[in-house]
Structure 1
Amino acid sequence: MSFRTTPSVDYVEDVSPGSGALPPRAWYASSDARSLSLNGSWRFRLSATAGAEDDSFAEEGYDAGNWADVTVPGHWVLQGDGAFGSPIYTNHLYPFPVDPPYVPTENPTGDHLRVFDLPSDWPSDGAAVLRFDGVESCARVWLNGTELGEFKGSRLPHEFAVGELLKPGSNVLAVRVHQWSAGSYLEDQDQWWLPGIFRDVTLLHRPAGSVADFFVHASYDHTTGEGTLRVDSDVDGRVLVPALDIDVATGEPVTVAVRPWTAETPKLYDGVLATDGERVPLRIGFRTVVLEDGLVKVNGTAVLFKGVNRHEWHPERGRALDLETMREDVLLMKRHNLNAVRTSHYPPHPAFLDLCDEYGLWVIDECDLETHGFTEQDWRDNPVDDDRWTPALLDRAARMVERDKNHPSIVFWSLGNEAGTGRGLTAMAEWIHDRDPERLVHYEGDWNCRDTDVYSRMYASHDEVEKIGQQLDGGTRKRRELPFIQCEYAHAMGNGPGGLADYQELFEKYDRLQGGFIWEWIDHGVKHAELGYAYGGDFGEELHDGNFVCDGLVFPDRTPSPGLIEYKKVIEPVHIEGDGANGIVHVTNKQDFADLSALAFEWSCQVDGETVESGSLSVPALAPGESAEVKLPEPPVDGRGGERQWTVRALLADDTSWAAKGHVVAWGQFAVGARPLPSFPATDRPVPDEGRITLGPAAFDARSGALLSIGGVEVGATPRLDVWRAPTDNDDGAEWQTDTRYGMLWRTLGLHRMRHRLVSVEAGDDALTVRTRVAPAAREVGLDTVYRWTSDGERLRLSVSVTPEGDWTVPLPRLGVRFGLPEADRVEWFGGGPGEAYPDSKAASMVGRWQSTVDRLQTPYVRPQENGARADVRWVELGGLRVEGDPEFWFTARRWTTEQLDAARHRTDLAAGDTVWVNLDHGLHGIGSQSCGPGPLPQYFLNAEPVEFSFVFSTTR
């Protein structure tokens, strides 16, 4: 009898970072040394446990003919149509028992095989390096049957010396990847758990005398306009920068006049590091980052960060991103006025940082470290405060810094995210400060700022942020003397975030507040044939956090959400406001470094939302921080007596690397005069006739007072008071929130199931009056509601008065009327647009004449919820009706009811019905960002109080 020996897998649960890998170094592409991409189709075998199979698959000649195929870079759980397991989403809970450093025996393990031919002209000197740019979470590697080593640190590069193992012709690369390892305890980021070789695998030739590691130091003296360049290199060579006439030895400093690098003016100088064996291209940006006068300054100027947190994501490929997808992210950021990105919560693919250098974005480069799940046990056994784990932490810090140290875009090194505090973090900070004193260190969890150069917080409320700006936040003296940033704020989950403009006002008011980073860039929806986009729980996970993974400013397909459009407006680099009555425009350059010479300005004049005249506007090339008043031309003469306004836009004067000439950077609007309100005398009287009441063009049911038709337009459901909206993610809040979670309170009160009691139908001399009481079951609170209908024979006016009864302790979700139309498709309106807006997210709502279809009015949030409202509407036309408001109103129109929208969990749950449901709202409750951050500010509450509003209906047929 023989027994099969289970291979040793002790390394999986070893707290060390691994063995066999070369020391970390700068990531670069050589000009002349050969490289061979090993990306592509690999043979693949999945096992349920780490030791289920022996190591024979790594031997030469192994027959893997019955194995499956996977694509590298890639995650195996996103391939194979579910045959290779499924993604798992948790926010912070570990999806395995917290028993460090141990992981479950059930540990999906993927064996990967790649047979490749060494090109016939591959140099024969024998020196070569095999590089893995990202493998989750633990990998063991063999080449031609020889074990190279194993490693952890999923989002970090690992290289192995393989020159002596390479053979002419066919070579066999074998990689065993374990989903869970001791390293998983350090990688509890809020994202999908996705095992696999998800970044590039590359074979690099290393010629004799080639570059090993190098560090580009390129500082800038803003007082002299000179830059100092020194390139330290492990291998001696020369540094050449032709545009600056630089030709110096490595290690030798040289000072010359230069144009500095900033996110607004990302000037890069092309250079070369030349050694005896290799030439490496350099892209050099001169800039100096310091902590001075309690502020983060670059090139002598304090910076205001207008940033975003960016996880790497693609809806089909997960974290396996190609260059064009990364470029799309950067271009979208630039086109929406962002100037900074935090690489949450790990170093990105190195090509992304190249793009940040090229196009101009400030970067907080964050280490691949998060131990958030230990908060469930009050941080007991947290690895960052356990000396056994410190070598792994230092390895992760070193692999980040050494790989990325030559990027001018990086101004902060971040120790990681939500890992508590401890000696390991202090060791990381000390190592980084020593290795690179030319940048600053960030970590949000260090509220006492023991190890960091900036006071950083997440989701601090507006009130607390203002206190911090005033240095009234308490804490240590060191902390109060440091600048403040919100490394995460304004949670962009579902509809929202609200309150962005209010935050930005504070950031610009107090010098100490140096901006923040929205959470986050993209919804992590997984493309799904049946659900549209899947989120947590859609793959049968034991533990999951639902759609909390869908909290981005762009949808999974990278379509900008209304939140991104709002953010673009709020952080405009040019502020435009005006005095319409006197024809004066106030223009302020809110940039930190660039003047306005790259922009052209144009004005237009609108009457009732239609442009009647436009032209160019001469604005000085204002320096940063400067303002000017510019005179507008005389208003055009127009016979119409409608509402007049000016619109002024700032546009790119020429093509740039990130947008074309004419791209709108900023805009402002201001009224010339007050809007004329709709009014008419009530000349018609209600006429009862065989169960109906006729009033002007309208017919009503005599018993209920329900509106049946206006002119030839049938009304499928009469206008009646509506207070319910399908709660947004931000309405519902987060389970750990201590603030009021109104979505839950609204349901508790019963606002989603209001009942309408008819009190009376009164046909008077000049009006039809319908009195009702609207209230939730089981509660004594209610809303006395009176509908008063009048007409001049052609038009119909509805005046609604609402009087709350009882003790209303919560605000209302909405207050208006809802009705149904049997037919409606095309929609035109005069008011805010073109996209949705809510009381605390309407900065980007531009008043004008807009057109749409009912379907295009909807905002496709991954989890359906309240959406699609248009703000400040004067009138809207749809389904043969024209509705004017007194005062302006909000409107939505959709092919499903609010109740159906509320019940849906995915977009595919929504099916168009035969009725278009229209809401005309006098008021809406604010949005806030309470899915993780604070709720709406009090000024955006829709409190229950007496109110009256009216609408004028007419037909367009």
Structure 2
Amino acid sequence: MSEIPDWENLNVINRNKEKGHVSTISYIDQKTALKKSKSIFFKSLKGTWKFHWVPKPSDRPVDFHKSNYDVKEWDEIQVPGTFELQGYGMPYYLATSYPPALRKRRAPNIDKKDNPVGSYKQSVRIPKEWKDREIFIHFAGVKSAFYLWVNSQEVGYSQGSMTPAEFNITNYLKSGNNQIAVEVYKWSDGSYLEDQDFWFLGGIFRDVFLYSKPKVFVRDYFARCDFDENYNDAELKIRVNIKNTLEKSIKGYKLETSLLDHSTKAVESDPILISHVKIPGSSDLVLDLEAFIRKPMKWSAETPYLYHLLLKLINPKGEVEEILHNRLGFCKVEIKDSQIFINGQSVIFKGVNHHDFDPETGCTVPYERMVQDVKIMKQNNINAVRTSHYPADTRFYDLCDEYGLYVLDEANLEAHGFMGDIYLKKKLKDKWSTSAVDRMERMVELNKNHPSIFMWSLGNEACFGPPHYKMKEAALRIDSTRPIHYENDLNLEVSDVFSTMYFTPQKMEKVGKLETVKYRFPNGSISPETYADKPYIQCEYAHAMGNSLGNFQAFMDVFEKYPNCVGGFIWDFVDQGLSKTTDNGKKYWAYGGDFGDKPNSSNFCINGIVRPDRTPNPSLFEVKKVYQNISVEAIDLVTGDVKIHNKYRFLNAKFLKIEWEVTGNGEMLKQGSIPSKSIEPLSSKRITIPYEKPDLSPGVEYHLLLKFSLKKATLWGEKGYVVAWEQFELPYKIAETETIPLDLPAVELEYTEKEIKVVGRDFTITFGKSSGVLESYTFNNIPIVSYPLHPNFWRAPIDNDNLKRVVSYNYPSLGWLIPANSWKNASENRSIKKIRVDKISSDVKLVEVTMKFPKNRELYKTTYTIDGKGEILVEVEFKPSKELMRLGMQMLLNEDLKHFKWFGRGPHETYEDRKTGAQLGIYSASVEDLIHDYVYPQENGNRTDVRWITVTNDEGKGFKITDYKGTLLNFSAWPYTQDELEKAEHIHELPRKDNITFNIDYRQRGVGGDSPALPTVHEEYKLKKDVTYSYSFKIIPLI
């Protein structure tokens, strides 16, 4: 019987690998350590390596690790980086199942004909300053398993992709050039634990470096704190592990511990602690240190104050052996009263899930991209991030500490492909414990000093069983200061919080009220006896796939209403589209299937509030508004009295500048600012905005806008950056009385076999007898409408509409939910029942068209009233027999009518259930500015609450559409047709037409977003069947 390869053997996860620990890079002096300058005891191995790739293990160059093996003709590859995105092999995207190489009913086996192997080789010289020191090699991340050789000698083996693998290579080195050889297997038994709704990629994808330590060195340390009952004074507790690699005992060493403030001034005494060290040969010493700190500055996401912690190891001669540096935050996490408290204050986590992702390099993320991500989060009022579904790059945690983000740190454990398989869950019950515990321990050991981490997660969607009990026990042995999270713990046996995914606001409210809640459909439920004492958190909610994130405000309303509902994490931050180029040079963002990967989950990886390049999706503006920490309540808008609510937990609102504007029909009338107000956290203050009542005009809407901006620049925002705003309609309005113009030019009617023409002095308007719609409109011989204005009830399906595509990849059992497409071609299949023409007067004519649509019981009626000025009043009445996607009209515009200006919500795209984050105002845009290129093309570019819109050419000629009698309109315009939009699967497949598609709508169905790619639009945002809808608008020539 052949020997089981390590990469299929559940009993082998590491060989000769160092235990997990925090970063312990040595510095030679305090100045260098504080500046985090490059240490002389650190050597990066980033760059070009020699490389050879094969599709299966049997083809690999077995002896390549030997020093005499010639690799001159090998390719070169960048490290860090993945195989696939440098031209070797195929990326796979699957959301909930395994690629073909992973056969779940044969787990932990791997298909030996489909397991790519990458062989890496590099030469390195050891710096002379490292003589007589211990030398380690550090791999920050390798997917998914690898062997290491140094100078032809095997050093060790590792798997577990998302935490570092370190090896002590001191005894394998020689003077001069040293050869490092690494053999990486894309798949291993560990891959079954890494089915994480992400791209399956392979290679050395995170940093690789060497570092050296003295023979006696600090191996690990854990700094934490405790506060007195008033959270004023703190006890700093540090557990330090010092290792003696010498065979003889050592004594006379001492460890000095210093604490410096942000400006590097010593806190208390310097050092605050001196510990004498005596260690037997080849042994470790653990020191438990404590220091009393008077009134330290406390760390929170709002006030991310960091101290400098220095550990200085000194030998008996008084020489500094090494200095270690860490940024320390005083932060205590507690669960009390079914809430999560940070330094004694309850917190609402306004979070987002975050994958390590870059469109060019996949899971190899440049530092600049991490900084960009953190800044975007802070700028948009996001205060928390979940590292879904594995530990992030260590530099990301440093940024969260520095900028201020709460982190739910998640272990590298997801076995989604096993989730629904009862047979496998029983068969594999405890076989994965060793791997699971190792992953948990290494995450906690690595990241335990980060104040930003408020909770550890045991993983995601990895069933539930013995491994999770053991993982929690392992975590608590290392760190008992933070709670434990696991969403799949349905009976809350190990999780310290009640965590769910994709509960609707209505379900969340049941939790807030401590009611029994249906959980894990179709038959499960959880009672308040089980969860009442635990905080409730949504580890995933508000699924942001494509045009989504509807009714987002409803979630925040629940979080703010019920104290036990402590927040959640949007799914997710970034569209995970990989950069790809067509044969003719067009770049686009690729998703599952675009690399020939079969099976795949299509575009289910495109779920972000930002696009792959981090430009905003429209949902980001909604997030910023809903998550903002200042709200304003109108008390008496006649006198300008309002109440400002400061929702910050730790910040006084005086750091914000307050500005106000009064507008009339979107035009600026008055503006000003008021002195900043001292409003304590979670407090309110009533103030008066010093505006005067404007001179009122009939029919004008008056609005007050309040803006709150940064008085000083921060790490993430410039001075003047607006963090919150509120807008109110002022109670000043004079009704506009409709005046009937006198002495208008006469209007005549002309009939042909196919047309009805309404002819005025300056215009001709044509209706088709067979089409029943307005087909053309010229004014002063200039075409205003050149193409039919026809009814439209359909939209190019958004991801939350397009169940047919989504369920075929992910949820085949939900096929019954796919809605009928009965409205898609309804307009072109209409039948004209009646056209009535009335002569109201010599200067006003009426055309009334009644039409019938397939499978609809009621008739559709449109009335056009045309006066001598050429103005058209359009009135529509309709009672649908089935729910509608939209109710409106569509036509093509001549290419020169490309300038759009409107009074409504903007400037960005909005929909009925996603418009909280858009202000009412007057905005201008080209057609290219109006559209939004979702990675997977779909309905886009809508604007809501529109009072009027002008469509003009370069000379300002065209037409204006105004709402009539308070009918607020929607509009959109695209440089392609609706049919082309629906057929396209990538942005580059959308043609750019000379003509422009123009939509003028009463309303559209909302976009939804409560659940992943399901039609979860709330009732109030639907266009319901058997309801009579009516709307009206005017078309006015601008010539």
The TM tier, using the shorter chain, reads: over 0.9
1:699 to 744, 758, 764: 764
1:883, CA displacement in angstroms?
Answer: 1.0
- Separation in 2 of the partners of 1:750 and 1:591? 47
Query: SS where residue 576 of structure 1 aligns?
Result: strand
Aligned to 1:111: 118
Aligned with residue 644 of structure 1, among 702, 707, 710: 702
Q: Which amino acid aligns with 1:453?
A: D
Counterpart position of 1:95: 99
Q: Is the 8 A contact 1:721 1:785 kept in 2?
A: no
Range moving further from structure 2, 24-33 or 866-875: 24-33
1:239 — aligned with what?
257
2:250 match: none
Aligned equivalents of 2:207, 2:607: Cα separation in 1: 27
Which residue of the partner structure matches residue 713 of structure 2?
A: 655
Aligned counterparts, 1:143-222, within 5 A = 143-221=150-228
Distance (Å, rounded) in 2 between the aligned partners of 1:878 and 1:476: 57
2: CA distance between counterparts of 1:440 and 1:324? 31
* Structure 1 Cα separation of the partners of residues 826 and 222 of structure 2: 62
Indicate if the aligned counterparts of 1:577 and 1:670 stay in contact, CA closer than 8 A: no
SS in 2 for 1:58: coil
Q: Contact between 1:710 and 1:955, CA under 8 Å: does it hold in 2?
A: no
Deviation at 1:513, TM superposition (A): 0.4
Aligned to 1:509: 561
Q: 1:859 aligned to 914, 920, 932, which one?
A: 932
CA contact (8 A) 2:876 2:1032 kept: yes
CA distance, structure 1, for counterparts of residue 552 and residue 153 of structure 2: 56
Give the direction of change, closer, same or farther, for the CA distance of 1:480–1:753 in structure 2 (3 Å limit): farther
- In structure 2, C-alpha distance between the alignment counterparts of 1:66 and 1:866, rounded to whole Å: 51
Instruction: Please tell me whether the aligned partners of residues 26 and 322 of structure 2 are also in contact (alpha carbons under 8 angstroms).
Output: yes
1:365 maps to what in 2? 409
Q: Which residue of 1 aligns with 2:289?
A: 252
- Which residue, out of 366, 391, 396, partners 2:434? 391
Q: Answer yes or no: is the 8 Å Cα contact 2:823–2:884 preserved in 1.
A: no
- Kindly indicate whether the alpha-carbon contact (under 8 Å) linking 2:26 and 2:212 is maintained by their aligned counterparts in 1: no
Change (3 A) 1:706 1:388: closer
Q: How does 1:500-899 map to 2 (within 5 A)?
A: 500-530=552-582, 532-578=588-634, 579-635=636-692, 637-638=694-695, 642-672=700-730, 673-674=732-733, 679=738, 681=740, 686-689=747-750, 691=752, 692-695=757-760, 698-701=763-766, 703-704=768-769, 706-711=774-779, 712-733=782-803, 735=807, 744-747=818-821, 750=824, 754-766=828-840, 767-776=845-854, 779-781=855-857, 783-804=859-880, 808=881, 810-822=882-894, 823-879=896-952, 880-886=958-964, 887-899=967-979
State how 1:72-471 maps to structure 2 within 5 Å: 72-80=79-87, 84-96=88-100, 97-98=103-104, 99-221=106-228, 223-235=230-242, 237-243=255-261, 244-246=267-269, 247-249=272-274, 251-256=288-293, 257-276=295-314, 277-378=321-422, 380-381=424-425, 386-471=429-514
Partner of 1:3: none
Q: 1 CA distance for matches of 2:616 and 2:24? A: 32
Whether the 8 Å CA contact 1:698–1:707 is kept in 2: the answer is no
Distance between the aligned counterparts of 1:545 and 1:291, measured in 2?
38
* Cα pair 2:231 2:343 within 8 Å, conserved: no
1:205 Cα deviation after fit? 0.8
| Cα distance per residue 1:112-138 (max 9 Å; x no partner) | 333233254342114101010100111
Deviates more, 1:385-394 or 1:140-149: 385-394
Looking at structure 2, the residues matched to 545 and 213 of structure 1 have their Cα atoms a distance apart, in angstroms, of 42
**Amino acid of the structure 2 residue aligned with 1:467:** K
C-alpha contact 1:497 1:927 (8 A) present in aligned 2: yes
Quick check: 30-39 or 699-708, which moved more? 699-708
Paired with 1:224 and 1:907, the residues of 2 have a C-alpha distance of 54
Work out whether 1:937 is the aligned partner of 2:955.
no
| Matching residue's letter, 1:136 | K
Offset of 1:150 from its aligned partner? Answer: 1.1
* 1:36-47 map, 5 Å: 36-47=43-54
Whole-angstrom CA distance in 2 between matches of 1:206 and 1:408 = 26
Q: Distance in 1 between matches of 2:972 and 2:767?
A: 29
Between the aligned partners of 1:145 and 1:55, the Cα distance in structure 2 is 12
What amino acid is the match of 2:873? R
How many Å separate the matches in 2 of 1:165 and 1:237?
Answer: 30
CA contact (8 A) 2:834 2:851 kept: no
CA 1:528–1:752 in 2, change beyond 3 Å: closer, same or farther? farther
Q: Are the structure 2 counterparts of residues 786 and 148 from structure 1 closer, same or farther at C-alpha, using a change threshold of 3 Å? A: same
Alignment of 1:479-518 (within 5 A): 479-518=531-570
- What TM-score do the two structures reach when normalised by structure 2? 0.87
Superimposed CA distance per residue, residues 388-447 of structure 1 (whole angstroms, 9 cap, x where no aligned partner): 321111110111000000000001000000001000111101221232110010011012
Which whole-Å deviations, capped at 9, do the CAs of 1:269-322 have from their partners, x for residues lacking one?
A: 112111132111121100111111221111111110000000011001001011
Amino acid at match of 1:900: E
The one-letter amino acid paired with 1:838 is: Y
**SS of aligned partner of 2:509:** helix
In structure 2, the residue corresponding to 1:773 is in which secondary structure? strand
Paired residue for 2:15? 19
The letter of the residue matching 2:624 is K
Contact 1:698 1:708 (C-alpha < 8 Å) held by counterparts = no
Please, which moves more after superposition, 298-307 or 731-740? 731-740
* Separation in 1, partners of 2:566, 2:990: 43
> C-alpha displacement at 1:29, in angstroms?
3.9
Percent identity over the alignment?
Answer: 32
Aligned-residue CA RMSD in angstroms?
2.3
The answer as to 2:906 corresponding to 1:906 is: no
Q: 2:737, 2:981 → 1: CA distance?
A: 33
| Unmatched segments (≥5 aa) in structure 2 | 29-38, 243-253, 262-266, 275-286, 315-320, 517-525, 953-957
* Distance verdict in 2 for CA 1:43–1:263, change over 3 Å: same
Q: C-alpha separation between the residues in 1 aligned to 2:69 and 2:1013?
A: 51
Where in structure 1 are there 5+ consecutive unaligned residues?
1-5
Query: Residues 556 and 782 of structure 1: is their aligned pair in 2 closer, same or farther, counting only changes over 3 Å?
Result: farther
Q: Which amino acid aligns with 1:394?
A: V
> How many pairs are equivalent?
942
Give the superposition deviation at 1:49: 1.1
Q: What is the rounded CA distance, in whole Å, between the counterparts of 1:741 and 1:582 in structure 2? A: 57
1:625–1:670 distance in 2 versus 1, CA, 3 Å: same
TM-score, structure 1 normalization: 0.95
Partners of 2:1033 and 2:500 lie apart in 1 by: 46
Q: Which amino acid aligns with 1:14?
A: N
Deviation at residue 219 of structure 1 after TM alignment:
3.0
1:546 is paired with a residue whose SS is coil
Q: Is the 8 A contact 1:107 1:179 kept in 2?
A: no
- The answer to which of 547-556 and 239-248 deviates more is 239-248
The 3 A distance-change label for structure 1 pair 424 and 123 is: same
Q: Deviations over 1:671-730 (max 9, x none)?
A: 123486695537666412464322575423354352411422331322222111111101
Task: Find the aligned partners of 2:691 and 2:823 in 1 and give their Cα distance.
Answer: 55
Bigger shift: residues 271-280 or 346-355:
271-280
Q: Which amino acid aligns with 1:956?
A: L
Cα deviations across residues 897-925 of structure 1 (Å, max 9, x unaligned)? 21111111011111121221111111111
Q: Distance in 1 between the 2:734 and 2:375 partners?
A: 39
SS at match of 1:726: coil
